[in-house]
Amino acid sequence: MVVSPYTESRKDNVITRKFSPSVNSEELVWHRDRRDRIITIVEGNNWKLQMDNELPVTLKPGDSFSIPKNTYHRVIKGTSDLVVTILEH
């Protein structure tokens, strides 16, 4: 069984994910998603998003990011819970 580095809930086509600052950094791996996604930051301090061949950017509440399907990216852990909403296309 694969254990996720986050907890998740779904309502219609919106996913809410919560990452804990106690997550092991090794669990936050580079990955690709099968669908286009728009990620909106609900809460979190000092978390970062790194897209393939780009420098990490700090995630701030209210920020939104478009992540095209099959694009490598990863999350770098911060100092509080990270809560995001994900809208899949």
Domain annotation for the chain: domains and CATH numbers: 6-88 (2.60.120.10)
Looking at the DSSP bridge assignments, the partners of residue 86 are 15, 39
Mean pLDDT over residues 70-79, rounded? 97
Q: Tell me: pLDDT of 17 over 90.
A: yes
- Cα(81)–Cα(19) distance, rounded to whole angstroms? 6
CB neighbour class for 66 (10 Å; exposed up to 12, middle 13-18, buried from 19): exposed
**pLDDT, averaged across the chain:** 95
Strands 14-19 and 57-58: unpaired
Mean pLDDT over residues 30-48, rounded? 97
Mean pLDDT over residues 37-59, rounded? 98
Mean pLDDT over residues 63-79, rounded? 97
Whole-model pTM over 0.85: yes
Mean pLDDT over residues 62-88, rounded? 97
